[in-house]
Amino acid sequence: MFTDRLFEKTSTIWEKYLEHPFVKEIGKGSLDLDKFQFFMEQDYLYLIDYCKVFALGSAKASRLEVMTIFSDLLHSTLNEEMELHRQYAEKLGMTRTQLENSTPSSTLSAYTSYMLQKSYQGSEADVAASVLACTWSYNFIGLNLAQTEGATEHPFYGDWINMYASDEFSQLASQMKQLMNELAEEKPEREKAELEAIFVHCSKLEYLFWDMAYDKQMWPQEISS
Ligand SMILES: Cc1ncc(C[n+]2csc(CCO)c2C)c(N)n1
């Protein structure tokens, strides 16, 4: 299957997610709150753009079934995943307005501009390739962290792990993989190679996103005014 090829191509990068200090410390429950807060702020902005990518998928869909998949994902991101962020923001003493008006970091801009550009310019298959690494890798990480002793019961980070390890999210990830396989099936190798390139690039940007969050990286101080 096409997604097996994608997984093989990125397995080294994906293994590195599990070794990343941000991910490991969520699992141990020892991650500094200020790093998590920074991540949540950036991730909220990420999800706003991500919803637009899903909307583009719906607009470009050639069948109602595909249109429904993208619009269901748009709905669950806006109402479930982003709700998790809103609840964490409340626990961290932030208002919704603050959350929505955070300053986008350079890594965030690099990631969402790339996905949006590929999705505006490309086909429904390019949209699927742009969102797959994100949906699938969070489920991969969530399921892995859920195996760490006590991680899902952690009073603060437990909800985060439980969301991404949940059956519902596992189903979303499988649905996206299935869609990618269907859309790639009939494509010539030249187009498959392009879909693979998008998936690899997004997988690398996922790693950069963990790095950005752990180091709370913004634009360099001297040019950030
Ligand atoms: C940088 C970054 N990458 C992936 C996700 C996870 N994610 C984003 S949308 C979606 C599908 C359903 O809402 C999932 C699983 C994230 N939050 N932030």
Quick check: 225 pLDDT over 80?
no
Q: Which atom of ligand 1 is nearest to the CA of 135?
A: 15
ipTM attached to this prediction: 0.95
Instruction: Tell me the pLDDT band of 53, cut-offs 50, 70 and 90.
Output: very high
* Exposed / middle / buried, residue 131 (Cβ in 10 Å: 0-12, 13-18, 19+): buried
Quick check: 122 pLDDT over 90?
yes
192 alpha carbon – ligand 1 mean position (Å):
23
Report the SS3 class of residue 103.
coil
Report the percentage of the chain scoring pLDDT > 90: 95
Q: What is the pLDDT of residue 152?
A: 95
Quick check: 197 pLDDT over 90?
yes
Q: What is the pLDDT of residue 220?
A: 87
Q: What is 2-214's CATH topology? A: Heme Oxygenase; Chain A (1.20.910)
Ligand 1 neighbour 136 (Cβ under 6 A):
no
Ligand 1 neighbour 76 (Cβ under 6 A):
yes
Q: What are phi and psi of 131, to 5 degrees?
A: -95, -10
Ligand 1 neighbour 43 (Cβ under 6 A):
yes
Quick check: 224 pLDDT over 90?
no
44, 71, 114, 138, best to mutate for ligand 1 pocket (most atoms within 8 Å of CB): 138
Q: What is the pLDDT of residue 223?
A: 86
What does the alpha-carbon distance between residue 153 and residue 13 come to, in Å, rounded to a whole number?
Answer: 28
Ligand 1 neighbour 135 (Cβ under 6 A):
yes
